[in-house]
C-alpha cells in the first residue's frame, strides 16, 4: 500500500476514517512545526536535501529518495501490518491474543513506557541542532538531516499512540513532549543522556553509534509488546533506526581510518598537528558515550521492569528466540553487588524478573562490542598496535549498582580522590573538547571531506560520493 502524500498527515492507519483523532493530530501539528523551527536543525529552512521519506511499510521499496525542501518534509504515521492471530509472547498473559486497545489495568505503565521512549526522539534533534553549521561534508550533512527528520517521525509515531489510545491525558503528554527540552535546567528531557550536548561531529558519530543503539534495543523490547499498536509501531521504527546506526558505525570508522593514515604518513601517534583526531581522544569519546548509555537502561534491579515484563508490555531482546518459559516465575540470576565499605564487588542472587534492565543492557553490550571489533580490525590493518575498548560496566556510572563507586575503565575500584586526579585520562577534558571543536569547519564542496575524516565507501542510494546531497539555493 502506498501512502497518499496529499493528506495533511501521511499515514497507513486510516486516519481519514477517524475525524476526532485526525482533528486532535491536526491541532498538534502546528505546535510540532513550531518546535521544529525553533528547536530543530539551525539554518535549515532554505535547504533542499536529498532525503529518504517513508512512503509505505513494504519491505521492498518502503522509502522514496529525492530532494526535499526541509520544512516541507512529510512526517507520517506508519505501523507494520497486523499479524494474523498474534499472541502475547511472554509474562502472565503469555498465549493470550494481543491487545488492540489499552488494557485498563496497565494503562499507567503503558503510557509511561510510550512517553519515555517518545521523549528521546525530539531530544536527540535538539541535541544535534547546531551540527549543521560544521558538517565535514555534504554527504554527512545530509545524513545528519536524515537522522533528524526520522527522529521527528519517531516522535509522531509515539504521539499517534498517545492521541489514539489515551484520550485527554495522552494529549497532554503529547503537548509536553514539545515543552521539555534537552539540557533545559527547568524542564529537561526525561533521561540524562538526552540532556548532554552533542556539539561536535565525533560526538555525533558516537551518539548515533551508542545512543541510537540504545534506541534499537528499547524499540526491540517494545516491539515484543502485547499491546499490538505499540509493537507494530516499533517494528517499523526499527527499519529506520538501522540507518542511524550505520551513520554512527561508518562515521567512527572513517574517523579512525583518517587517523591511522595520518599516523602512518607522519610516523607519529600525535596526529593533532596534522588535523586528525588521535586514538586516545577517540577512546575518551567512546568511554563517555558508552558509559552514559549504560545508564539509559536504568537500575540493574528494578521492580518496574519486572512489572513491565510480567504485564506483557515490554519483552526481552528477541524474546521468541530465547529458550525458556518466557514467564520466569521463580527463576534466579546472579548480579553484581558493591560489598562492605565499597571496595569490592560481590555477586548476589536475585529474581530474574527484576533483572530485566540488566538483561537488555547485556545484549546491548554484545552488540556494541561487535562494531568495536570491526574498528580494531581497521586499526590493525594499518599496522598500528592499539585496541579500542568499551569501558567496564563500573566506569563512570550515575545510575544503578555502581553509582556508589568510582572505577577505572578496566573496572578497578578507586577512591574518589584518585578518580578526581585521573578522570582526565579517561574522559574528554575541556582541552580535548576545544581541540575537537577547533577541527569542526564546514566543508560544502561536493565530494570534499574535512581533514579529520576519510570519505565514505559509497554514496547514498546509488549516488556518487560527490553528489550534491544538500543544495543551499
Ligand atoms: Fe528514534
Ligand atoms: Fe535513531
Cβ 413 vs Cβ 407: under 8 Å? yes
Burial of 421 (0-12, 13-18, 19+ CB in 10 A): exposed
What is the DSSP code (8-state) at residue 313?
A: S
Q: How far is the CA of 157 from the centre of ligand 2 (A)?
A: 13
Q: Which ligand is nearest to the CA of 117?
A: 1
pLDDT computed for residue 59 by the predictor: 73
* Distances 398 to 190, 293, 294, 353 between C-alpha atoms, Å: 15, 11, 9, 23
Residue range 160-173, pLDDT digits in tens? 999 999 999 999 99
User: Which ligand has an atom closest to residue 244 CA?
Assistant: 2
pLDDT at 6: 58
* Distance in Å, CA 379 to ligand 1 centroid: 30
HSE (side-chain half, CA atoms, 13 Å) at 225: 29
β-sheet bridge partners, residue 346 = 337
The pTM for the full model equals 0.96
pLDDT of residue 3: 58
Contact between 428 and 284 (Cβ < 8 Å): yes
Mean pLDDT split into 10-residue runs, the chain, 473 residues: 66 90 94 96 95 82 88 90 96 98 97 98 97 98 98 97 96 98 97 92 98 97 98 95 96 98 98 98 98 97 98 97 96 93 92 98 98 98 98 98 97 96 98 98 97 97 97 89
Which pLDDT does position 71 carry in this prediction?
A: 84
Span 392-426, pLDDT tens digits:
999 999 999 999 999 999 999 999 999 999 999 99
What is the CA(152)–ligand 1 centre distance, in A? 8
Distance of CA 389 to the CA centre of its chain: 20
Find all residues with CB under 8 Å of 202, minimum gap 6, and list them: 255, 277, 281, 282, 285, 436
CA distance 198 to 437: 11
Strand, helix or coil for residue 76:
coil
Give the dihedral sign, CA 93/99/104/106.
positive
Per-residue pLDDT, 444: 97
With cell 577534558, the residue in question is 429
Q: Is residue 128 within 8 Å of residue 195, measured between CB atoms? A: no
Q: What is residue 219's predicted lDDT score, i.e. its pLDDT?
A: 98
At 2 the pLDDT is 56
In the reported structure, the alpha carbon of residue 13 is separated from the centroid of ligand 1 by a whole-number distance in angstroms of 20
Amino acid at each position: 500500500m502506498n501512502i497518499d502524500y496529499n493528506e495533511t498527515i501521511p499515514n497507513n492507519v486510516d486516519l481519514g476514517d477517524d475525524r476526532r483523532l485526525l482533528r486532535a493530530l491536526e491541532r498538534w501539528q502546528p505546535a510540532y512545526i513550531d518546535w521544529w523551527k525553533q528547536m530543530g536543525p539551525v539554518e535549515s529552512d532554505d535547504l533542499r536535501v536529498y532525503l529518504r521519506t517513508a512512503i509505505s511499510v513494504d519491505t521492498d521499496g518502503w522509502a522514496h529518495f529525492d530532494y526535499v525542501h526541509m520544512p516541507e518534509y512529510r512526517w507520517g504515521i506508519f505501523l507494520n501490518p497486523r499479524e494474523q492471530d498474534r499472541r502475547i509472547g511472554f509474562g502472565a498473559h503469555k498465549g493470550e491474543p494481543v491487545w488492540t486497545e489499552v488494557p485498563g489495568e496497565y494503562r499507567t505503565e503503558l503510557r509511561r513506557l510510550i512517553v519515555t521512549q517518545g521523549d528521546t526522539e525530539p531530544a536527540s534533534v535538539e541535541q544535534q541542532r547546531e551540527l549543521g553549521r560544521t558538517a565535514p561534508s555534504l554527504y554527512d550533512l545530509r545524513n545528519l538531516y536524515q537522522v533528524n527528520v526520522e527522529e521527528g517521525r519517531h516522535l509522531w509515531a509515539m504521539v499517534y499512540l498517545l492521541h489514539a489510545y489515551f484520550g485527554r491525558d495522552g494529549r497532554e503528554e503529547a503537548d509536553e513532549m514539545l515543552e521539555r527540552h534537552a539540557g533545559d535546567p527547568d524542564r529537561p528531557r526525561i533521561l540524562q543522556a538526552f540532556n548532554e550536548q552533542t556539539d561536535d561531529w565525533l560526538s555525533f558519530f558516537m551518539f548515533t553509534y551508542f545512543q541510537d543503539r540504545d534506541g534499537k534495543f528499547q524499540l526491540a523490547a517494545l516491539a515484543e509488546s502485547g499491546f499490538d499498536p505499540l509493537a507494530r509501531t516499533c517494528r517499523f521504527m526499527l527499519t529506520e533506526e538501522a540507518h542511524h546506526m550505520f551513520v554512527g558505525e561508518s562515521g567512527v570508522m572513517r574517523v579512525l581510518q583518517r587517523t591511522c593514515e595520518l599516523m602512518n604518513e607522519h610516523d607519529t601517534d600525535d596526529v593533532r598537528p596534522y588535523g586528525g583526531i588521535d586514538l586516545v581522544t577517540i577512546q575518551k569519546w567512546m568511554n563517555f558515550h558508552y558509559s552514559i548509555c549504560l545508564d539509559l537502561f536504568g537500575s540493574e534491579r528494578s521492580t518496574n521492569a519486572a512489572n513491565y515484563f510480567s504485564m506483557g508490555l515490554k519483552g526481552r531482546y528477541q524474546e521468541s528466540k530465547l529458550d525458556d518459559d518466557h514467564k520466569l516465575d521463580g527463576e534466579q540470576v546472579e548480579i553484581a553487588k558493591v560489598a562492605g565499605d565499597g571496595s569490592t564487588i560481590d555477586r548476589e542472587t536475585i529474581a530474574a524478573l527484576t533483572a530485566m534492565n540488566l538483561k537488555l543492557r547485556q545484549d546491548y553490550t554484545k552488540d556494541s562490542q561487535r562494531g568495536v571489533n570491526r574498528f580494531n580490525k581497521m586499526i590493525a590493518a594499518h599496522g598500528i598496535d592499539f585496541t579500542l575498548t568499551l569501558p567496564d560496566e563500573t566506569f563512570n556510572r550515575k545510575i544503578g549498582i555502581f553509582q556508589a563507586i568510582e572505577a577505572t575503565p578496566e573496572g578497578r575500584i578507586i577512591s574518589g580522590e584518585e578518580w578526581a586526579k585521573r578522570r582526565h585520562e579517561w574522559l574528554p577534558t575541556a582541552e580535548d573538547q576545544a581541540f575537537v571543536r577547533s577541527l569542526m569547519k564546514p566543508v560544502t564542496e561536493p565530494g570534499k571531506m574535512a581533514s579529520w575524516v576519510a570519505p565514505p565507501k559509497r554514496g547514498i542510494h546509488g549516488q556518487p560520493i560527490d553528489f550534491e546531497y544538500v543544495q543551499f539555493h
